[in-house]
Amino acid sequence: MSDEAGPERDTVDDAPKPSLAETLLHAPRRDDDRPDQRWAYRSWLLLLMSLAVGYHALVLLVHNLPGKGLSKDVHVFFNEKLQASAYMRATGNTQSWAMFAPNPHRSNMFMKVLVKDKDGEIWDLAHDMYGRREYPYLFYSRMGKINRRLMEEKGYRRHYAAWVCRDWEMTHGGESPDEVQFVKMWTQVPPPQKVYPTMGYDPMKLHLNQREEETVRCSTSYHGQVPEDIRERLGLPPQHPGRFRDVHVRTWWDQKQAKERQAEREQRAADARGDDDATVPEPVGEVEGAKE
């Protein structure tokens, strides 16, 4: 064996060793740092990663199934048994892909935002983009998106109105407006058959529909006033205490306090019941009037 190997080794040794320039500058670059290793991980890690990857893939697929109809209970199963919904929420993977679905909008919708100040004068804040946008429209307008969302999701309106109240206050020397009014505006995109004769239309010549929606009063709206700490930060004059309408959030501390108060009340009640209990002998020294 060694006899056979000897000459071979000699041959290798005799071969001219490539220069550094040849290996570094001219030899092709290898495309694998560990050619002897087929898989990315060792067995135990591979098993662990398989579980994690399989879970993510499965949850992703189920999450994107409709939450109603025939797949409703599959959702329920995955959410209850496999915490699918919680996982997607915690990892920021919650998703919905209903863009232009089931149909794109066929009307242009805008929410006009008006403010009535202390003197009763009404101001249009120009938050809607009807006739206001500059073209070409290059930079995406988040405010436009939010304006549309006010139309579709009514729950946002009172928060938006509260901000309008605060913003007015912050930019008008601390003076709060009276109320915020929402006016819904929309134009109908004509179907193609209607505009074939003119091969198009001017969007500003479409009939503009308008309808008054909510009115929110700044003084009675939650967070419709600038709180003291922000007034101080912005250098606004202080307001009388109690003006700021805060929301109540019940934290563990409040619950603990409530429990303690409840326990105290129960204790007092128990004590009171004890005082009235005829079966308990009264301590002699504590008999009313005994000290006298």
User: Which residues, 75 to 104, sit near another protein by CB under 8 A?
Assistant: 77, 86, 89-93, 95-104
- Least separation in angstroms between residue 18's CB and another protein is 9
Q: 125-130: which pairs have CB atoms within 8 A and are 24 or more residues apart?
A: 125/164, 128/185, 130/185, 130/208
Chain residues 262-291 in contact with another protein, contact rule CB under 8 A: none
- Tokens describing residue 11: 């041959």
Least distance CB 278 / another protein (angstroms): 43
What does the alpha-carbon distance between residue 59 and residue 66 come to, in Å, rounded to a whole number?
Answer: 13
Asked whether position 37 contacts another protein by CB under 8 A, the answer is: yes
Stretch that binds another protein, among 1-9, 48-56, 212-220, 284-292 (CB under 8 A): 48-56
Q: Which of residues 197-236 bind another protein (CB under 8 A)?
A: 199-204, 222-223, 227, 230, 233-234
Taking CA atoms, 76 is separated from 65, 79, 85, in Å, by 12, 5, 9
- Determine which residue in the list 5, 16, 30, 292 makes contact with another protein, applying CB under 8 A: 30
For residue 185, give the H/E element and its range: strand 179-188
Q: CB under 8 A: which stretch of 53-61, 119-127, 235-243, 263-271 binds another protein?
A: 53-61
Nearest to 222 by CA among 162, 169, 157: 162
DSSP assignment of 140-160, as one string? Answer: --HHHHHHHHHHH-TTHHHHH
Q: In the stretch 175-204, what mask flags binding to another protein with x, by CB under 8 A?
A: ------------x-x-xx--xx--xxxxxx
Q: Tell me which of 6, 9, 10, 72 binds another protein, using CB under 8 A.
A: 72
Distances (CA, A) of 225 to 115, 158, 181, 215, 250: 14, 13, 16, 16, 21
User: Are 128 and 110 spatial neighbours (Cβ–Cβ below 8 Å)?
Assistant: yes
Of 191 and 242, which has the nearer Cβ to another protein? 191
Q: Can residue 242 be called a binding residue for another protein (CB under 8 A)?
A: no
Is 134 a binder of another protein (CB under 8 A)? Answer: no
List, in sequence order, every beta strand (DSSP E) within 206-277. 209-217
Residue closer to another protein by CB (options 1, 138) is 138
Q: If binding is defined by CB under 8 A, does position 240 make contact with another protein? A: no
Check residue 116 for interaction with another protein (CB under 8 A). Answer: no
Q: Give the number of other Cβ atoms within 10 Å of residue 74's Cβ.
A: 14
**Beta partners for residue 108, in sequence order:** 187
- Write down the least CB distance from residue 245 to another protein, Å: 11
250 touching another protein, by CB under 8 A: yes
